[in-house]
Amino acid sequence: MKITLVGFFLSSLLYFSGPVGGERNGNYDANSNSDSTLITIPFPVKFGSVSEAYILEKKPKIDSFYNKFINSPFYSGSFLVAKNGRILYEDYKGLSNIKTGKKVDANTAIHLASVSKILTATAILKLVQEDNIMLDQKVTDWLPRFPYKNTTIRTLLNHRSGLQHYSNFPGLLKKSWDRKKVLSNQDVYELLVKHKFRLVFNDNTRFDYCNTNYVILALIIEKATGLNYRDAMQELIFKPLGMKNTFVFNYDTDRDTVCKSYRGNNIFPWDQYDRLYGDKNIYSTPRDLVKFDLATYSPDFIKPELLQEAYTGYSAGNLAKPIKDYGLGMRMRYLANGEKLIYHNGWWHGNNTSFVPIKKDTITIICLGNKYSNRPYETLRMANEFFLKKKPEPTLVPELPYTGE
């Protein structure tokens, strides 16, 4: 069933009439919201307290690592490490707009690039939880003209659909491609319908990271909710969690006001893929993303058994000892000590981003960069070194440029 007007009204009421200073976590009273180092959500989550001894132990180590591997003249952005919602360390540096001199701070929403996929996937899971859609439902149930009859919502989520990358459309269409046209999600869908591009492989036979999958998922969210993707994400995730600095970019109205991205001191120009959403184009802050991570520990927000579907690997196939894997909107890396590191990186224009929730220790590590650099991906090394009890592996950090984010 579609989201009703009553639901819309109630969620809006919750958003705008919550306690002063933020939301309540089931483990803390309302007065704790005066603590600026504690991030909470309006869903019950049972966490133990974070001792001062723990903070004193971890903070200098994080500071040393951050200043050695991330903080530099070549980096601009926001960085945060939290446990149980308690901020252990955060830092903001650089400019969100070099022309105006506006600095990056705790309220600066930065383009998440492919970290947006985590949020799109969660919106799909919320709709599954509400019995609105089913994971193994055919895409054609929602988009009847979709030309690939075997593709399911699950194989879009886990990148096993075999769809062509929309970035390959110019090469496929050659002289007939209009390089000046700024594509919408509907345009991508219509191009698939019209040209029926050959699949890279048959559905659910192997893995290929493809942004087209999430462009189509965003259209399914719109069909299932009766709302545009921008409003649907507000109703399903951002408003309920109090993510007040998080939004979906509107190409027509937001280009002059959003945080810019850079290579050096040169702003990245907009291109014909900048109107597309679902795969990217969500802007957020580390503090808001901590709220999102906290919510994944609350069965009142999302059922554990459904979340487990997202953390199940689908891409490694029958490998006895896989190194990498992909779930439903989440990347995974299997470490030599047997730990499974769950994360997602992103890269779009000058934005390089990383979201690393360490479920075992209820830690959240986030780095959002708006200046072209691979330094934000050092979060994976930090997670491995400080919280998963293993020596750092240099191969955890990709070199730029790289594909697949």
Tokens 């981003």 locate to 353
Asked if 246 and 353 count as a contact pair (C-beta separation under 8 A), the reply is no
Asked if 313 and 326 count as a contact pair (C-beta separation under 8 A), the reply is yes
Residues 164-173 have pLDDT tens digits of 999 999 999 9
Residues 124-172 have pLDDT tens digits of 999 999 999 999 999 999 999 999 999 999 999 999 999 999 999 999 9
What type of residue sits at position 267? I
Asked if 375 and 75 count as a contact pair (C-beta separation under 8 A), the reply is yes
Asked if 209 and 331 count as a contact pair (C-beta separation under 8 A), the reply is no
The rounded distance, in Å, linking the Cα atoms of 129 and 117 is: 18
The rounded distance, in Å, linking the Cα atoms of 274 and 348 is: 10
402: number of CA atoms within 13 Å, CB side?
14
230, 210, 195: which is closest to 165 by C-alpha? 210
* Distance, C-alpha 287 to centroid of its chain: 13
Q: What is the mean pLDDT of each run of 10 residues along the chain (405 residues)?
A: 41 35 31 72 93 95 97 95 97 96 98 98 98 97 98 98 98 95 98 98 96 98 98 98 98 97 95 98 98 97 94 83 91 86 96 96 96 96 82 44 45
What φ, ψ does residue 93 adopt, rounded to 5°? -150, 160
CB atoms within 10 A of CB 395: 10
Asked if 332 and 321 count as a contact pair (C-beta separation under 8 A), the reply is no
